[in-house]
Amino acid sequence: MTTYTVYADPGHAWIKVPLSKLIDMGIVDQITGYSYMTLSHAYLEEDKDMGTFVSALSEKERANLKLKEDHTNKESRIRDYASYDPQMVRKSYDGLSVMLVSGEQAVLSLTGGKSVMLTTAKGVRYKATTANILTYVVSVFAPEPVLI
């Protein structure tokens, strides 16, 4: 059973989904700017994007889906989050340094849909999918902090 929280205020509702799940499902570009995001999660609005997400789940995932509602009578703080931007979702993963099972360090780049490219320092490229990437990667290096 997979539980997702649906946050609601008097005017709208959003389902909280990890950004990594949207990438794994290959639906990053199908989500509209009417949804919101943080560095780790998307808050998919109820009118279209929540349906896009649920429809993209496998039949088994839909059968095991549990929604937990969190309602407030005030305006939700989600409305203050950044508008969803597929470019920002990709940037949070593009350029990530990883250690491969071979012991080589590589850089991850999203190539579209569910495809991922891992490029080593020697220029060797490994093509993977978001579903099988963990068969290649042993660890992820924390990115350098960016000062704004």
pLDDT digits (tens, 9 = 90+) for 31-66: 999 999 987 789 999 999 999 999 999 999 999 999
- 104 and 69 inside one domain: no
- 97 and 81 inside one domain: no
Rounded to a whole number of angstroms, the distance between the first and last alpha carbons of the chain is 40
Rounded to the nearest 5 percent, the helix, strand and coil shares of the chain are 25, 40, 35
C-alpha pair distances (Å), 68 with each of 2, 5, 7, 27, 76: 10, 5, 8, 23, 16
d(CA 25, CA 148): 31
Is 117 within a domain? yes
- Is pLDDT of 95 > 90? no
- For the question of whether the overall pTM of this predicted structure is more than 0.75, the answer is no
Q: What is the three-class DSSP state of 119?
A: strand
Residue at a domain's end among 86, 102, 117: 86
Is 147 within a domain? no
Say if CB 51 and CB 41 are below 8 A apart: no
| pLDDT for residue 131 | 62
Is 145 within a domain? no
| pLDDT for residue 145 | 47
Is 66 within a domain? yes
- 8 and 78 inside one domain: yes
C-alpha pair distances (Å), 74 with each of 9, 11, 38, 70: 6, 9, 20, 12
d(CA 123, CA 126): 10
- Domain count of the fold of the chain: 2
- 79 and 8 inside one domain: yes
- 72 and 132 inside one domain: no
- Is pLDDT of 93 > 80? no
